[in-house]
Amino acid sequence: MNFTAAYRIFTALFMLMVTNGLGMTLNDFTSMIYVFVPLLLMLVSSFIQFFKQRKLRLILFAAPIIIFYCFGFYPWLTNYEEVAVSSSTSTLDFIIIPVWATLYGAGFVVLHEIGLGVARAFNSSS
pLDDT tens string 91-107: 566 667 778 888 888 89
Question: At 101, which amino acid appears?
Answer: A
| Secondary element (H or E) of residue 47 | none
Q: What is the pLDDT of residue 126?
A: 59
Q: What is the pLDDT of residue 20?
A: 75
Q: How many helices (H) and strands (E) does the chain have?
A: 7, 0
Q: How far apart are CA 91 and CA 68, in angstroms?
A: 16
Residue 22 half-sphere exposure toward CB, CA atoms < 13 A: 17
Q: Give CA angle at 125 (119, 126), nearest 5°.
A: 95
Name the 3-class secondary structure at 113: helix
Q: What is the pLDDT of residue 78?
A: 66
Of residues 94 and 36, the one with the higher pLDDT is 36
Domain holding 24, by residue range, is 3-125
Q: What is the dihedral of CA 100, 85, 33, 17, to 10 degrees?
A: 90
Q: Tell me the mean pLDDT in the region 76-100.
A: 67
Domain count, the chain: 1
pTM: 0.71
pLDDT tens string 43-58: 888 888 888 788 888 8
Binned at pLDDT 50, 70 and 90, residue 28 comes out as low
Of residues 67 and 93, the one with the higher pLDDT is 67
DSSP of 57-89, one letter per residue? HHHHHHHHHHHHIIIIIHHHHHTHHHHHHH-TT
Q: How far apart are CA 98 and CA 42, in angstroms?
A: 12
